Amino acid sequence: MIAIDFISDFSVNPIPEPDTSLALLLAQTEKHHTTLTLTTSRRGMANQNLNSEGLAETLAVTAHHPRLLPVGTLDPRHYLGWRQELAACVAGGCVAMRFSPGTQGWSPQTLVFNQMVEAIGRVGLPIIVDFNGAGDALEWIYQVAAITQRHSVPVVMNEVSYGYAGELMAVMHEFPQVYAAIRWLCLADGLETMTAEGLGDRLIYGSNTPHYSIRALRNQVLMAKIPDETKQAILAGNALRLLKMDVDHLPVPPLQIQTTVELPQKPIVDIHAHVTGIFLAQPDDTFERSTVPEMCTRCNIDVAIVSAIHAISYDIRVGNAQTQKFLDRYPMLRGYVVGDSRDIPGSVEQMSHYFKDPRFVGVKLYCPVAGHMATQRMQDLLDEVAKFGRPTKIHMDNTGSPYAGVRQAALRNPHLVIIKAHGDDAEGARQVVDLPNVYFEFASSGITPGRVRRSLDILGPERVLFGSDQPLFAPWFELGAYQDAIQTEREADLIYRQNPRRLFDLRV
């Protein structure tokens, strides 16, 4: 199999957080044997004045690296001279055009965007539209599809959130010129679902490297339960068709990729998983069924610690009882007791009841629903949690002074183990580096090796754990980013095995 990476971008000079340097882009594409990578200067995607400078940077770089193909940019806000800029993109050999409305703060509903798409249609190029940072992304999916259909322009929708997967599939059924880049559509069984919907021929492999992990996205494709010909179509065939290229007449020799996924040789522990279903287009989990054990087996995970989505989002009593039923059914699972700062007596009652069952090994708290870290009621609940001597994994959010709150709780209860779910970058790690009872795990649709590595360098491997957030995300997807970040066998052993077994007293 070969891989054509449809979406990447670079900075000429390195920026530490995140590192999107040209050097790293070249190193990643070479390491993973990517035959061709479409790329764009981040200067052309930034909120800047002259789009032409970004184009010049893209053309200059790709001219020196034959496995990089240039992608041009246009910015509707600047307006002046955009037709000349499009002509310069075509003359420079750009194979596609890329728009960044979310980053740049404009809407695809604008007339000038419509005019740009019409002009691009006349020169026969596909376009890429970035949806990250888009406040109205759900509505934009249909609007972009309608505009590009009007002008017969193929469009690759990039970084559409997995939360919008249902709308995206509906639009793709309605508009045959719409393609979907798959990186943010990384739900477990997501590729299987879209293939079953008959959309496998319009899924595009676009890693958004070097910010994001090539390995993670390759894992997602290669582990998918879809035919090999569909995997090859996603990895390269669909892109080649869009680019009107023939695999036998590429500008560079094709490179064969590794088609086996590097999974852990020794069993590992996943401290972030769920049961009772997630209300999205994927995955197919319910009150009575979980795909977590099957995915664990495929990824050599011998223990997964789960909490009930129902307990997090609606009713702690019903949800925690459901968790116990799943523990009865699947010996590899351990459980979190979900607490709620809006009901401290009820949370204490739940912990008192379920910690009599040794299979319940920790507490799960969810700030977006139950209350911010710095609220008095969350601090009071954490005081109660500390009395039970069990680790607590907390989904914090960006409001309500999260680090002030976590520092307060950690200092008040120095023996309470606090695990920040979904991790953070170096700045977050610096805010808790002096608190030995605070740990990070990095499960996220936006997981990046750089973020894991930078935090790991600050906190040390003794304070990092592996979490996947399955069945929302597949564990092999998350594992790919961890593998890119981890540098030694000692680090791997601590993160995957020793740390969780010590903190949760897992006798496995």
Task: Clarify whether residues 16 and 153 are in a common domain.
Answer: yes
Residue 20 pLDDT = 86
CA distance 15 to 31: 21
Residue 214's domain is classified under what CATH number? 3.20.20.140
Residue 95 lies in a domain: no
The tens digit of pLDDT for each residue in 417-426 reads 999 999 899 9
Asked whether residue 469 falls in the same domain as residue 347, the answer is yes
Do residues 202 and 288 share a domain? no
Q: Are residues 194 and 300 in the same domain?
A: no
The range of the structural domain enclosing residue 145 comes to 4-37+103-249
> Tens of pLDDT along 50-81?
778 889 999 999 999 999 999 999 999 888 88
Query: For 297-314, what is each residue's pLDDT tens digit?
Result: 999 999 999 999 999 999
pLDDT per position as a tens digit, 340-391: 999 999 999 999 999 999 999 999 999 888 888 889 999 999 999 999 999 9
Contacts for 27-31 with beta carbons within 8 Å, 24 or more apart? 27/210, 28/209, 28/210, 28/214, 29/5, 29/67, 29/68, 29/209, 29/214, 31/214
Q: Are residues 300 and 420 in the same domain?
A: yes
State how many domains the chain has.
Answer: 2
d(CA 24, CA 364): 37
Asked whether residue 480 falls in the same domain as residue 343, the answer is yes
* Shared-domain flag, residues 174 and 291: no
CA dihedral 388, 392, 397, 398 (to 10 degrees): 90
**Looking at the structure, do residues 307 and 417 belong to the same domain, yes or no?**
yes
